[in-house]
Amino acid sequence: MAIQLNVERFANLRTPFYYYDTNILRQTLDAINTETKKHDNYFVHYAVKANANLKVLKVINEAGLGIDCVSGGEIEQVLKAGFPADKIVFAGVGKSDWEIELGLDKGIFCFNVESIPELEVINEIAASKGKVATVCFRINPNVGAHTHANITTGLAENKFGIDMQDMEKVIRLAQGMKNVQFKGLHFHIGSQILEMDDFIALANRINELQDKLEAAGVHIEIINVGGGLGVDYDNPQGNPIPNFKDYFAVYDKYLKLRPGQTVHFELGRAVVAQCGALITKVNYVKENAIKKFAIVDAGFTDLIRPALYDAHHRIINLSSSEAEETYDVVGPICESSDTFDKGIRLPKTHRGDLIALLSAGAYGEIMASSYNCRRLPEGYTSDELL
Ligand code: LLP
């Protein structure tokens, strides 16, 4: 079932705002759990960077998922939402001391460590607290992903992770430290990935690395394959639930596990993108010699993905069903990049019409800014607008 957008429900709300259809979210979570239930060693940690709205987080927590954080602020937010600390994995290339301390104080499941200097600092801080930090190493697998260059992370040229050739060295280093316990490997090759071949390439790479480690007598317990599964931005209404079956089947089929190993996933976008829409109002329709602009009250401060990544979000007019015309849909911010889409067909659009930008549940509200001193958008769930 597609996202339900009911104009009457929205009548008294100040635009722009995010709307989350919790039916879609729950169906998505069910689809994930249906697949992971087939394995008693698969654990999904929702990547909270995609959406940290408390109301959304509570629904995700109810479904029993763990959490992937990349900052101390995210750890604080997910604890507020009720997630247990021992389901938190904490990644990030530049963790600050206070963030490491917070992770240790709260007793998170695992630090995903991205460099030797970071490992040394974690060991030192853990020692000062008389604690032992569980660590995995994020390895850069040098596997490309067929996605936008800005959201590719697993290539040697990217800043993330530890080089494959240094893997054994850092493991030995960690094994010699008193206040860290090395448990496994972490990977992440990028985001909005729809080609299952990319995940197959990652699984094959992990197999190679495991064989090497096994030959060197190193056993690992945790394999974290990161996130990255994409969603259908072209047809969100026809295809609202991502293809979790094929995604998990890749790891089932290609990843070679040793006894006792657990596999961890960090899905963000695939969990929340399709349940969310940005709802905005048309302030003006302006026509010049060559085109018509629908000028809406949301801008790139509310949804930056089109400006930053050339992303396309399906745009629908919730108020008009008149004959279609061609529009550029633009925001009010004083930059030309404040354009949501160009030359799209919409029913004849008027001042006051409500417009929805679909598939906006991931990397939407959370990336909002107050540039131009604009207000941050609110986020509402269907549960509270009944
Ligand atoms: N794990 C790690 C280590 C990550 O860096 C990311 C995303 C994820 C998991 C979750 O990836 P997902 O399943 O959501 O693809 N703002 C961009 C996306 C940036 C993704 C950053 N890392 C966008 O709007 O497309």
- Chain segment 304-351, per-residue pLDDT in tens: 999 999 999 999 999 999 999 999 999 999 999 999 999 999 999 999
Query: Is the minimum distance from the CB of 192 to ligand 1 under 6 angstroms?
Result: yes
> What is the per-residue pLDDT for 153?
63
Cα of 268 from ligand 1 centre, angstroms: 6
Ligand 1 pocket mutation, candidates 68, 110, 267, 269, criterion most atoms within 8 A of CB: 269
Query: Is the minimum distance from the CB of 242 to ligand 1 under 6 angstroms?
Result: no
pLDDT one-digit tens code per residue, 211-231 = 999 999 999 999 999 999 999
Index of the ligand 1 atom closest to the CA of residue 362: 24
Query: Is the minimum distance from the CB of 228 to ligand 1 under 6 angstroms?
Result: yes
Ligand 1 pocket mutation, candidates 56, 148, 193, 266, criterion most atoms within 8 A of CB: 266
> What is the per-residue pLDDT for 148?
64
Query: DSSP class of residue 150?
Result: G
Residue 189: closest CA among 145, 230, 255: 145
> What is the per-residue pLDDT for 143?
87
Cα of 150 from ligand 1 centre, angstroms: 11
pTM: 0.96
Query: Is the minimum distance from the CB of 299 to ligand 1 under 6 angstroms?
Result: no
Query: Is the minimum distance from the CB of 374 to ligand 1 under 6 angstroms?
Result: no
Index of the ligand 1 atom closest to the CA of residue 50: 14
CB of 114 within 8 A of CB of 135?
Answer: no
**Does the CA dihedral 58-193-185-123 come out positive or negative?**
negative
> What is the per-residue pLDDT for 18?
98
Query: Is the minimum distance from the CB of 338 to ligand 1 under 6 angstroms?
Result: no
* 167 φ, ψ (degrees, to nearest 5): -55, -50
Index of the ligand 1 atom closest to the CA of residue 226: 1
User: Which residue's alpha carbon is at the smallest distance from atom 7 of ligand 1?
Assistant: 191
Q: CA dihedral defined by 212, 95, 221, 123, rounded to 10 degrees?
A: 90
> What is the per-residue pLDDT for 157?
66
Ligand 1 pocket mutation, candidates 67, 185, 191, criterion most atoms within 8 A of CB: 191
Distance CA 128, CA 131 (A): 8
Query: Is the minimum distance from the CB of 81 to ligand 1 under 6 angstroms?
Result: no
Residue 126: closest CA among 107, 154, 153: 107
Burial 167-178 (b: 16+ CB within 10 A, else e): beebbebbeebe
Alpha helices in the chain (DSSP H): 7-10, 22-36, 54-62, 72-80, 97-106, 116-128, 167-175, 196-215, 244-254, 269-272, 305-309
Distance CA 190, CA 192 (A): 7
Spans in the chain with pLDDT lower than 50: none
* 346 φ, ψ (degrees, to nearest 5): -140, 155
User: Which residue's alpha carbon is at the smallest distance from atom 24 of ligand 1?
Assistant: 363
